[in-house]
Structures are given as structure tokens and as C-alpha cells.
Structure 1
Amino acid sequence: MNPILRAIGIERLVSFIQFGQRTRLHEQERARSNKHLMQALEEEKRFGQYFTVWLRTIALIAVAIMLPFANPHIEVIYYEVLILVFMMIGWIQFRLARVGQSRAELLLIQIDLVLLGVVLLVPNPFSPDTWPTAMQFRFNGFMYYFLFLALGTLAYSWRTVAAITTWSAGIWMAGLVAIHYFGLRIPELSTGVAAALTGWHRVFETIDPNDTRTAIRIQEIVVLSIVGAILALKSWRANQLLIQQAEYAAERTNLSRYFPPSMVDELARRDNPLAEVRSQDVAVLFADIVGFTRIAEKLEPDATIQLLRDYHAVLADIVFKNGGTLDKFLGDGVMATFGTPQTAPDDADRALRAAREIIAATDLWNEEKAKQGLPAFPVSVGVHFGPVVLGDIGTLDRLEFATLGDTVNVASRLEGATRQLGCRVIVSDSLIRRIAADHAGENVARETFVRHDALQLRGRDTPIDVWTA
């Protein structure tokens, strides 16, 4: 690159623009891949635009009320009309606002800033007075650019805030150059003031009506650039925090697919609650559709999938309602645990309650499906209570929280044994004894369940006592 261009910072400017473009594309890609992030950005955009347009309107109304007191002449109507134009532009921006790059929004922002420059630097065409154009700088109108910049931080991205800063500085500099070279000058005024201030040269420089006071104008641009850079950095940081919050929301949603809402809140407050490997006593429940393969053969694939989704939704609601954890879907089966990741005294009781509710709910669900001419989905349930191992398994880039151990295998075998015993629910004696120890619930179980001693399960040498219903 040409050394002169490098010396004036063009190379750094190009690098900054390229950085902004890369960042914008990266954020857009993240938003497209994360619906929570897109929703958060859209909500933030609506919220920001809503407050911006109302604050802008209120501020402009305040200025409109103030102007007649500052300039009690008929030509003030010119500025009042322009204030209405600014209000209209603000509401158009509100209507066109959307997430992502919008050329229409950027164009309206540019119109805003250019119009503001015209209002501040071009003399009122309806004013009967004639004075040097440089006198326009004496009204300290530059401060209104800070107002527009502050409002921009409420509604726009850090890139747009940086653009507003750059455009404002460019417009003010262009106005300075235009007035310096092409503005109306009245030398007689300068001569008269100089004569009146003979010996007061520095005072004359301050009040010379034909002087644009370039140093002050440059100072204004520098201060605006610094403030704009700070606000852009703050907007960038706020946007990063918004993205993090959206990602946290997505993670909580993922947790809610497996854990009840109360457990999700607890897990979200803990640091790495699932990272450590540990052993604890839990209740494990398996539910399965009896003869699903035979039923599925009679249905279209779409109908099969939809029925499975409805069935899974029924079971998931019951598991979560009873404080259980949805461990996994196993095709037409479901594995749930009660006591993970944290145990509670009534884990066994809640697992038994969930088993009963699953049978009752699926019976009602089957009645509704029968009215639609669909086949019934008979469901069987097996529940066992005992020690399991909890922890993450898999590779570093594909981990899964798993519940492992003989208790899981026994619960699965109990569900399968319902065909052998001709029942719908089998629970282990370990579960019933745990309920009796905690809540004296054995009597309730005996009223509705039948005991079977020494049931031999497939793949196990030692039989176990069970209860059926």
C-alpha cells in the first residue's frame, strides 16, 4: 500500500471495516443456527427501537417547546417543521426495523444525520437577517449529534453505532470545509470588531464572526469519535452478553428435555453438576409398547412417527410431573430415573406413582385413539430401586450423561417380564421395601399389587421378589 495512505491510517481503517464485516457474518451464522439467539436478538431489537422512537419523539417535542423561547421570531417555524420531519423519520425507522443488515434503516440514519447537518450549518432561509455562514457554529448545535448517537446505542448494533459516529464526524467535517471555502463572508464585520478590540488579538480570534474556529471544530470531532468508540465498545459488549444469555437459554431448554423444571433451575445454578462420577440409590423405570413392531406394520411411516411423538409426550409429562429425569427414549420405549442427579427421600414413591399414572394415562390415550380408528398401544412398565453409577460417557466431543449398573438392567428385565406374568406393571420388592421404610407405603402397594417370590429374570442367576399389577 502507498506509504502516504498508510501514514494517514487508511490501512487501519480498511482492517477495521473488514473486522466488522467478519464479525457481522459470524454473528449472523450463530443467530441462524440458534433459534433462541435469533429470538433474543429480535426481542432486543424491538425493545430498543420501541424505546428509541419514543425517547426520540419526547426529546424532539422538548426541543420544539424550547425553540420559541430561545428564538422568539417567526422564522422559528422553519425549525419546528424540520422537527416534525425528524419525528416522521424516526417512526419510519421503527416500522422498518429488523435484525441484521438493513439498507433501508442505514439510509434513513444517513438522511437523519445529513438533515441534522443541514439544519445546524445552513442558515434559516426565512430569516430576515444576513450574517457570515461561520456564525452557524456559534449556536453550539453540534451537541445534537451526541443525542442521536446516544439514541442509536439503544436500538442498533455496535457496528451501526460506529457508523453513526463516522458519518456524523464526516458530515461535520464536510460542513466545516464547505463553510470555510464557500460560506458567506462579511469582511466589514471582522474589520469593525478588530478595530474595537485593538490590542486584544486573542479576544478578536475568539469572536471574529467570519472565523470557523477550525481548531474547536476538530476538537468536537475528536471528542465525538472518542465517545462513539466507547459507546460502540459498550454496545459490542452488551451484544456479547445477550448472545451468552441466549446460549444459556438454549442450554436450559436442552436440560428441560431430560429434567423437570425445578431440577433444571437447580442444575443451572451449579458448576458442572453432572461432571463427577458417583454412585447412589435411585429408582429406574422402563416403559414399553407391547407388540409395537406388529402395530407399526399396519401404519404409514408418518402416522407411526406421530403416534410415537404423542406417546412420548404423555410419558414425559408424567415423568416430569413426578420429579423424574427422562434418561432416554428407546424407540417405542422410555427410560426414566427418580433420584438423579440429586436424591430425595420419596424417589421410590414417586417412581411407583409415575408407573400407575402411565398406565392410567395410556389407557385414556388409547381410548381417544380408538375413536379415531387407530390401534391401541398397550404399555408395560417395570420399576426397580437400587444403586447406579452416574457420569459422563463417550468421547471429548460427544459426551452423554448416563445412568449405569445392575439396577438399570433389572428394571429393563422387569418390564420385559410383564409378558411372562401377564401383567402391565412389575415393581421390585426393593422398591416396595424402600417405600415402606420412608413413607409406610407398603400397605398401599399390597392393596393393588400382587407379590411374586423368586422371579427368574433373563440373564440373571439370582431370582428376585416382585410385585405385579
Structure 2
Amino acid sequence: MSIRIKVVLVIIPILVLSLLMAGLSSYFFATSGITRIAREFLGFKAEELEKYMLTQWQVLVESGLSDRPEMRSATQEGMASFAATLIRSTTELILAVDGEGALAFSTSPVELAPEDWGKIREVFEAGRAEGFFTLRLGDTERVGRGFFFEPFSWYVVLTEARTTFYQDVEKITTQTIYIVAGSILFASLLVFFFVGYLLRPLSRVVSTMQGIIASTDLSQRVPVEYHDEIGELSHTFNLMVEGLDRAYTSIKNYAMDAVVARRNEMKIRNIFQKYVPQDIIDQFFEHPESMLVGDNRVLAVLFSDIRSFTTISEGMPPDELVEALNRYFALMVDIITARNGIVDKYIGDAIMAFFGAPVKRPDDGYNAVLAAIEMTEKVKEFNQRQVEEGKPEFRIGVGINYGLVTVGNIGCEKKMDYTVIGDMVNLASRLEGLTKYYHQEIVISESLFRKVEGKLPVRLLDTVAVKGKHRGVRIYTVKRELSPRQGEIWKLHNEGMELYYTRRFDEAAVLFQRILELDPQDYPAQMLSKRCRLYVVEPPPPDWDGVEKMLVK
């Protein structure tokens, strides 16, 4: 939106508000004055008529004739005649209505409908009759005054058509609206063109600036038209362009050097990004000195492996095997990097990755588990193409651990890898091996269980001491979501494990048997049901802690 329009949008509402307030003020003052005159005019007539009617009734009473119908009728006719003498216009109307709604007299012919009587009675019952009220009788909007004449129980109403008093006010109001509208239109045009005239130098500044941007020609200048703030702006703009012109020459020299350096950096990146993760390259260029030292860090380590890969490779030609393996690796690496993981290395058909270095994030463990789930899901899509092409399907197992490792560039002067080492890395590799033993796609450690508990469904598999270790760790499997039947199985399994670790083997066996009734192929339930039945017959020693020692990797 241009400045001209903005200025108009600011000024015009102020002008409209001012004219509107003036017009409304005039309207209300005029209406108030006319209302006061109408009230006094009708009030005077109402007082005169009421005074006359009371006088006539008093004469009738003092003469002792108030009980004679013919005298009462004559008095009523006299009252109606006097009311007619008060009429000064053809639109004025005085009428009286008795308590039954019947018309007692009227100064002009009028048909009083039941709803008209209802309106009159409503005015009197509301106590507005002796004030100034508005009333619609038939098709005419009227203003009036009234009073209740008790001797005859008459509701006497003196009215005049509303247009008689307010017609001129309404004409003035209409004329005022036209005048205000015309004034606003004229003022809008005047302000629009005047602001455009004032802002013309600004438009030239913008035009010159756009020309400089389009052509990079810093020799262009803005003419200084006014000796005011806008003229000062033009002069300052010219000084700025002169400074930029001088700086541009220096910048070109520096830019040439920067381009050469950037090209060299891009060559290095293009060469090494095939072998080194992008995060490592970025950290090297930002902090080269940090790449020369190791660091102890808590992170997640992931191992994945294709099951029975030797059998698969024997049944496929080498070129097809390499093509399928490369396509599989591409899918897996995309998932790992999307979850902020680093692919450490390929070990034959296995992948080693870690989450939490060189950049540490609070959800590294959770991201590692999600990556494992997505890898198993993506393999199913991968296998659809394998089946369509008549090639063997891939089955994978993923093991993940979370703990303290040493991370850094490890190797020799001629060959170094940015990698992680430590006991936690070895345990992650062992967990991947346990996926085959427990017939599960994913196995995670207890440290990762604490990271995903409450976020993802988790199933406790066992407590194991991997080969080469004496201390046992609890291991779990995890999924993104469960079907109702799977949810019931996992719930029963976790309850059964609690009974199992408290040596209540017979009760645990019952729960594992219920799982097998739901899914006879559930391997963890088969294994633990068999183990519980064995322990019922031959209980473990008193110092039994539930740890199963693994004799194979």
C-alpha cells in the first residue's frame, strides 16, 4: 500500500468523523427543539380541553342534572364541539375512547381498530399519556398528549401527524448527508493529489534505488527538488550512493578472493561428503581445532543388519545384488539423517549410526528409536519392489543402546574416521544380534526405554548378560503403535514379566499361555512360558536375579 493511500486513509476518517459529529449534533439539536415546541403546543391544547371538560361537568353536577342521560349526552356533545374548535390543521386529530374501546367522539372521521385501542390503552397504562408520546393510528405516525377524564371514563388523546413537526428536520438531515458525502469526496481527491505532489521526490528516490538494484549502476543520482526534510532525504541518499560506489570497488577485490576460497572449500566438501557426514564437514570448517581431539559424550548408537544376507547374496547375480543393496542403503541413510543421525560406517550389509554427535540434541535417544521404527517400515515398501521384480525380500534387525561413549577422529595419520567407541557401542552391536534370538525387528536397552517410556508402546523381553559380560541388562522391543490384539498381548506380557521376576512362575505361566491363545506364534511368550514351566518343576537358586547369560553374539 502506497504512502499516499495511507495518508488518505488517516485523514479521511478524521474528516468523516468531524462532519458526522457536526451533522448529528445539528440533527439532535433541531429534533430536540421541535420536540419541545410540539410538546408545549399539544400540552396547551390538552390543558385547555381538560379544563373545559371539567368545567362543563361541574356545571352539570351543581345543577343536579348529572344523573339524567339526555343532559349527560348534551354535555358530551358540547365537549366534542369545543375539541373541534381547537383543531388548526387537517392532520390534527382529537378523540376520546371509553373503557370498552368504543369511540366517544372524534374531531375527524376515523375508524378505530381493536389494535389501535390497544395502543392507546398501553400508552395510558404505561403512564406516558400526560407526557409526549409517539403513536401509530392506521397508516399515520402521530405524536400526542393525553389525559384520562374520570367522570365519563374517557381516554382523551390529542394528536398531530409526526410529519407536521419533523418533516423539515428530515429534509435538512437528507441535505446534510448529501453535503457531507460531497465534501468527503472532494476532500479525498484534494488530499490524494496534494499528498502525491508532496511525495513525488520520494517516488524518484525509490525509482532511482530500483534502477541501481536492477543495473548495479551506482552513478545514478536523485534531483533535490525541495529544501525541506524530503529534500534532505534526497541529498542524503546521493551521499550514500557515492559511498557505496567507492566501497564497491574495494568489495570486488575482496569478493574475488572469497570466490576462490569458496571454490576450494566446495571442492573439499564435494570430495569428502561421500565419506564423511555433512555435520562433521561443517564442524571441521567452523572449528578445525576441535576435530583433533576426542570427547566423552552420552549418545545413542544404532546397529542394523540384514538377516540371512549370505543366503540372499548366493541367490542373486552380483550386479543385481549391488543395485538392491545400494537402494536399500539409500533408503536407510535418508531415514537416519532425517532424524539427525550420523551414519558411521557400513560393515558389509550392516549399518552403524549414532545420534548425538557432533551436535547434541535433547531428543537424540527418542529420534534413534523412531529411526529404527521407520527403517523397519521402509523395508516393507522396499520389499514390495523386490517381490514385483522376483527378487528375495530383505529382513532386518535393529539394536540400539544409549550411554557414554568416546567420540572423535580415530585412526592413523593416513586414514582416520569420525566414529564412536566404548563398551556401550559393543552392547548396541550385541543387541542387534539378539533380534534374531528373540525374533524381534527392534531391541533396545533399558537406558533407551527410559527415553521413550510413555511416548511409544514398549514390551519387556528379558534380562540378559551378553557374551563377555556378567552384569545383566533389561532389553525391550518397541513399535510405533499397536492393534487392539497386540495391545492386549503386550499388556499381559509385561504383567507376566513382573510375576516372573518375583518368582511367581506358575502365575506368570498362566499369563504367557493366555498370550499364546491370542497369538500361537508369539515367540517371547513361547520362550517364557517354557522357562516358567521349567522353573515351577526345578526352581532357580535363591540368588537367582532373572539374568539370562548369552553364549553367542
Larger RCO (CA under 8 A, 6+ residues apart)? 1
Larger helix fraction of residues? 1
- What TM-score results when the alignment is normalised by the length of structure 1? 0.45
Point out the structure with the larger strand share. 2
Point out the structure with max Rg over C-alpha. 2
